[in-house]
Amino acid sequence: MAADLRSGLTGCAELLVTRADTALACGSGDVEVLGTPRLVALCEEATAKALEGVLPVTWTTVAMRVRFDHLAPVAVGSRVRAEATLERVEGRRVVFTVTASDHAGLVGAGRVTRVAVERTRFLAKSR
């Protein structure tokens, strides 16, 4: 795999929180605030955007490990922005620092590790 994977790549993703994004809707709780699974997915989206156009077209990355702290509740109608920075490359593994913020400040933070895979071979292994 020839790719231009290097530390410092960044990506971001934004979300206007709707009822479909809540803990209640995600099944992760019974309150109508931004659900942790949806917040983690937003951070993963930011990591994927950081890598857009970097890998050969037959390759992609998949999440392997997520370590994340959800620090504050976010109401329906609020905007959240996730930012990802590629901290290090370890062979086919790439490790990102991720943060998510709303108008009041930090909402969540953590690390996401992704692995570069050749699409066809990866899909052939699916069960």
Question: Domains, the chain, ranges and CATH?
Answer: 10-124 (3.10.129.10)
**CB-based contact 66:114 (threshold 8 Å):** no
Give the pLDDT score at 110.
98
- Joined tokens for residue 66: 């997520």
Each residue's pLDDT tens digit, 57-86:
999 999 999 999 999 999 999 999 999 999
Provide the CA 56 distance to its chain's centre, in angstroms: 21
User: What is residue 3's predicted lDDT score, i.e. its pLDDT?
Assistant: 66
CA gap 49, 46 in Å, rounded: 5
Q: pLDDT for 82-113, tens place per residue?
A: 999 999 999 999 999 999 999 999 999 999 99
What per-residue confidence (pLDDT) applies to 83? 98
Longest dimension (CA), the chain: 46
Containing 51, the helix (H) or strand (E) segment is: none
